[in-house]
Every structure is written in C-alpha cells, then in structure tokens.
Amino acid sequence: MSTDTSTASSNLLTLNVALGERSYPIVIGPGLIGDGERLAASLAGRQVMVVTNDSVAEHYLERLTSSLPDSLEVRTLILPDGEVHKTFASVERIWDALLEAGFNRRSSLVALGGGVIGDMVGFAAACYQRGIDFIQVPTTLLSQVDSSVGGKTGVNHPLGKNMIGAFWQPRAVLIDTDALTTLPSRELSSGLAEVIKYGLIHDQCFLEWLEREMSGLRELNTELLARAIERSCAIKAEIVAADETEQGVRALLNLGHTFGHAIEAYMGYGRWLHGEAVAVGMVMAADLSQRLGWIDAAAVERTRRIIAAAGLPVEAPAEMSVDDFLARMKLDKKNLDSRLRLVLIRSIGAACVHDEAPLEMLKSCIAEFPRR
C-alpha cells in the first residue's frame, strides 16, 4: 500500500497521499467546512481566497469564512455554477481577483465546491506566480471520491473535456460528509458512478459491498457514505502515489471515461453530468471487454445492474452515431501515436489499458449499444 491511514480523531478519518515532499492528508468526516483552524493549519501565509460557485455559496461560504482565524486576510470569489463555465475565462477571473487583491506567492486558494470548482481553482493555483498552494473542500460526492484527490486540474475545450490543465497537488483535502445532505439525488448518483468504478477496476470485495448497500447509500446513510468515500479515496491515493502523472497504472482510473467524455463533448457540457456519461461509458467498456473474450455476459450484466441500481443511465444518447463517438474518442489524452487506448475490464476487480481492439469490433460495440 502507498497510503497511510491514521486513527480517527472523534468522527474524523485521515488518509495520506504519499508523494514525498508533495504528500498531503485527506480528512473525512462531519463538520469540516466549519473547522477553520484545521483549514488554516494548511496555509503557507496569511492571504487566502475562497473560490466557490453561487449554488454552494448559498449553503456553505459564510460557514467556512466565519470559522477562519481573524489573523488571516480572507477574500472570496463566487463563480457561476455548472460544467458549461469550466473555461479559461473563469480561471482568468480567479487570476484577476488575486492580482487585484495583491496576493503574493505565499497566498493560498481554497476550492469550495464540486469538481468544476476544484479543477479550475487547482489550475489557477498551478499558474499564479508559477504556483501557489490550494486546498480542496469538495462538496459533491463525485468531487469527494475522485476529482479532489490526485492533482489533476484544468478546464474544458469545445473539442474535448479537460484538455487544458496541469498536475498540481493540493496541500490538503477536507471532505465534509455533512455537505452531502444538500446534494440533489441526480448529483449523488453521478458521484456513485466513480465509486462503482473503484470496485470494477481494483476491489471486487468493495463492489460486492456496494451491491449490498446501494439503497442505503442513495438514502444518504452517513455511515455507509463515509465508508464508501474512505475506500474510494484510499484506492485513488494508492494509485496516484504509484503514478502521479499518469504514465502507467493511473490511467486505469479512467474506466469508462473515453466513451463518457465523448458523450459530454458531443451533447454539450452540463446536459449529461460527468458521472452519468462515465456510467454509460463503463457499460460500453464492459461490452467491448466481453467482445474481446475477457469477461462473460454475466459480468457485463452485473456491471449494468449495479450502475442502474445507482440511478444512472445505461444507454447511450440516441443522437450519437459511431462516427460521433470515434471523432471525440480520438482526442482522448491517453492516446499515443494515433492509437486509441481504452481502459477495459480484464475481470471484475481488475482493469487494463488496451490499444489493440480491432476497429471494426469497436464500431460494432458502439453501433449495437442500446440507445435512449
């Protein structure tokens, strides 16, 4: 294991992302948004800017800022909500705010929100004065189990998702499980797609647990959600520690994402939530894995069944043709030397990166996949 787990303090659990000098803690538990002293302990200097969106600000911005020590110079920036705003222009607004406030190299950014805010704030931090610290305070399940951990930052381009960005690790990730109580059910299901992914690629026992407890997770059982978040973060932290910049094993975290990103780009960012698109992509990856002879029909059906149980789609958009999928999949960042590299399922709980699927087989997989 590349992660260290410390004992819980009261109701808090701490994991460690082991990256040498760039190592950082993931703290999981209730009440963390209002724990200003804990957040302040990760700051390099006294200047801090909290960046959030208008939806999250309504619930949590005042709670976070009012808990910070009076010794800090605190500024805030509220951006519009939604994937459609994950753009270079939004990141420029962060830089503008930092410059107008006279923030220096020892200043810090705090990303209070979901994956869109976290990715943009991280990218802004990576570039401002050639790199300043930032802290992730994720408020959606998807960002808590996936995008807040690992240092991938960036923005979307009209031709592809997350095509412009940088690797920039946070100083800490503070996961307040109470934030999930205000999360819409569709957003919760979107996050569950990434949770399911960890079971499919790395931990069959975890997948079996998810199959048993899915109804409780969807009903916001706090104990079950904390356990799901803990295991998901532990798996991701282990993989990131082994391969920080995705030169090898980290690519496995992209199960379903090549198909899913194609759906998001074609349909228009925000029409399909990220987890919804990835959910369909994971079923498509399972279908192709069966065609390659690696898994049987029962494994494909098992994948489809748990994704449907999470309240997620299992059918591709009716509007998308084979060519629509392929045109966008060819822009995937995993591709090398014009070879389409896909993350596929070798067996339940184990995945691989494969670049030798026959083109006609891939086309048949896409063409014959159920549509809605």
- Catalogue the active-site residues: 130, 152, 194, 236, 246, 250, 254, 257, 261, 274
Joined together, the tokens standing for residue 129 give: 């004065």
Instruction: Give helix then strand counts, H and E, for the chain.
Output: 14, 12
Our CA angle for 70, 75, 78, nearest 5°, is 135
3-state DSSP call for residue 166? strand
How far, in Å, CA of 8 to CA of 4, rounded? Answer: 12
Query: Which residue ranges make up the annotated binding site?
Result: 81-86, 115-119, 139-140, 152, 161, 194, 257, 274
Sole residue written with tokens 């994991």: 15
Neighbouring CB atoms inside 10 A of 202's CB total 23
**CA separation (Å) from 42 to 64, 262, 300, 325?**
15, 37, 44, 43
Joined together, the tokens standing for residue 101 give: 């406030």
Q: Spell out the residues 6+ positions from residue 117 whose beta carbon is closer than 8 angstroms to its own.
A: 51, 52, 53, 56, 79, 111
Query: For residue 236, what is the enclosing H or E element?
Result: helix 222-242
Beta strands in the chain (DSSP E): 3-9, 12-17, 24-29, 47-53, 73-79, 108-113, 133-138, 152-157, 160-167, 172-176, 342-347, 350-354
Query: Which residue ranges make up the annotated binding site for Zn(2+)?
Result: 194, 257, 274
- β-partners of residue 50 are 76, 110
How far, in Å, CA of 6 to CA of 23, rounded? Answer: 14
Q: Spell out the residues 6+ positions from residue 14 whose beta carbon is closer than 8 angstroms to its own.
A: 5, 6, 8, 25, 26, 27, 28
